Amino acid sequence: MISTVLVANRGEIACRVFRTCRELGLATVAVYSDADASALHVREADAAVRLPGSAPAETYLRGDLIVKAALAAGADAVHPGYGFLSENAEFAAAVADAGLVWIGPPPAAIEAMASKTRAKELMGLAPLTDVTEADLPVLVKAAAGGGGRGMRVVRELSALESELTAARAEALSAFGDGEVFVEPYVEGGRHVEVQVLADTHGTVWTLGTRDCSLQRRHQKVIEEAPAPGLPARLVEELYERSAAAAKAVGYVGAGTVEFLVADGRAHFLEMNTRLQVEHPVTEEVYGVDLVALQIAVAEGERLPADAPAPRGHAVEARLYAEDPATGWTPQAGVLHALEFHDRRSADAPRVRVDSGYASGDTVPVHYDAMLAKVVVHAPSRAAAVRKLADVLERAAVHGPVTNRDLLVASLRHPEFQDPGRLGTGFYGRNLDALARPRDGEAYAAVAAALADAAGSAGRFGGGWRNVRSQDQVRVYGAHEVRYRPLRGGGFTVTAPEGVRAVAAAPDRVRLEVDGVVRDFDVARYPEGTVHVGPYRLTVRPRFTDPREQTAPGSLLAPMPGTVVRVADGLAVGDQVVAGQPLLWLEAMKMEHRITAPASGTLTALHAVPGRQVEVGALLAVVQEDPQ
């Protein structure tokens, strides 16, 4: 019997496993990097062991240090979570060799399926070797791990070599394994997967399907169970092939078999020999705790002959710290508030939030930028989708820029709400429209301005103002707000037109727009951001400080990170063309390509491989050729 579990992971999944361990009466041990010293998963564990350093390669990918940590803390079992070493057969073997219980599949099964190249061979498929124009487009893919890391779509043969290099570097950093392979890229279709669970006695459950088609940069954004609208015969085929794959390798524990469904056919993609990020939607539909079942199987328990029956529908959205204005680059910084306000009655849809952060925590630059997974279970798909959009919109998410608006807009988009139109090309068709600022942002800016003015009036005396006859002006992002303080208190809004200030306090403003009255909650923070309901606004001075101006053609770091590569042979004085890759930054386990903003001459190059840079740091300067 297991008594103490060490989770060889961090963040949300570590917290998720600890929650089940507490319910089962098991003690818990966390491991943490220096960047995670005060992280939520460390605070929630009964004991914690430091892994010196911050980069994954020197901390969460060091299996030898994690095994030592488990022994030192008195743990008798290790749960790998997902990512990092979760699909590393050598690590699984090292855990067992140390006399610890491995809460996962046998090393041989991991070896057979965790490498996507070997998994395809086992399923009678083979990756491409000599790629020609006729094979395009192709997909470069990491043999280990997932989450879109080490993955590139190649549409031009000339780009293949550079994309292979980038994918290898990204895979090595994220998973400690730089092996990649090339396979045909099937345009469109749906990403559908089957949850399997097997015990040591030969029982294999298939716990339904999940649809994970809404992906951006091959990273899943919204997932649901069951996959809607699939023909019964195809679902049965998916179950049979998934169970056969598990039995073929003597699989034990929780795993997922992934397919691309196109033209009514299922194309095998890979088998993930671990718990998936999106496992909560399956848990909600089937009424099970997959982590508890993983532990039970690891202790040798026998699963019932039949899996439980499904009920209802569940949808999950991944809330990320990322900025759409800078190409969806990951963001870091203080998460001032992370609160989900669920107005529900006893019979309302169930809302679940899995997170590795709490209000006041700092999001570091070294790891995945996911803040939380928000899940809703309801009797129908339509009810779950509607409720999830509402919960996300009402949430207080204050701090770094997030993809919250994208999630809400995606859930409410007619194409997503029609199961017959689901497909992996959703964001390719709709991302630009979904990322546009919402109409209400201008009114949120008015609320921010009046709240700030109300606070100033309180600080300087109720009648304080500049010249009474002139408009006061405040600028938030792209929105300029003009107003005048009234002699008896209150304000008149002069721009934008059609807005009447009903009441204003430093933290709450009531506005009337076209006869409709709405309240806005306002929170401001030292770095110059103001959060008004679901809107995040940046305070901007009316006039630009000349000291903040940069030379034309300056390439600034869009995020804090590490310079990992500079283009081969690149030197000051070189001629470059618009869009040409110049250097690569690594942040949050992914590589980000920095390209020339225009055709011209490289006049400065400050990027050096290995150099840590902050957001806004000058990396290079390209002087544009005269027209």
Q: Which residues are catalytic?
A: 274
DSSP annotation of 176 reads S
Looking from the CA of 41 toward its CB, the CA atoms found within 13 Å total 28
Instruction: Return the axis-axis angle of helices 381-394 and 404-411, rounded to nearest 10°.
Output: 150
Do residues 197 and 212 make contact, with C-beta atoms less than 8 angstroms apart? Answer: no
Q: Are strands 561-566 and 575-576 parallel, antiparallel or unpaired?
A: unpaired
Q: Which two tokens stand for residue 204?
A: 């294999």
Q: Which two tokens stand for residue 96?
A: 């067992």
Residue given tokens 């899996």 in the structure block: 307
Q: Residue 175, SS3?
A: helix
Q: Which residues contact 506 (CB under 8 A, 6 or more apart)?
A: 451, 452, 454, 455, 458, 522
Q: Residue 396, SS3?
A: strand
Do residues 110 and 274 make contact, with C-beta atoms less than 8 angstroms apart? Answer: no
Q: Which two tokens stand for residue 199?
A: 């015990």
Query: E strands of 85-218, at which residues?
Result: 101-102, 138-142, 152-154, 180-184, 190-198, 204-216
SS (H, E, C) 298-367: HCCCCCCCCCCCCCCEEEEEEEEEEEHHHCCEECCEECCEEECCCCCCCCCCEEEEEECCCCCCEECCCC
Instruction: Return the axis-axis angle of helices 426-434 and 404-411, rounded to nearest 10°.
Output: 120
**What distance in Å separates the CA atoms of residue 288 and residue 282, rounded to the nearest whole number?**
8
Backbone angles phi, psi at 98, to 5 degrees: -85, 5
Do residues 49 and 72 make contact, with C-beta atoms less than 8 angstroms apart? Answer: yes
Other CB atoms within 10 A of residue 615 CB: 18
Q: Which two tokens stand for residue 536?
A: 């995040």
**What distance in Å separates the CA atoms of residue 432 and residue 557, rounded to the nearest whole number?**
23
Q: Which residues contact 447 (CB under 8 A, 6 or more apart)?
A: 509, 511, 520, 522, 532
Backbone angles phi, psi at 589, to 5 degrees: 70, 10
**What distance in Å separates the CA atoms of residue 275 and residue 260, rounded to the nearest whole number?**
19
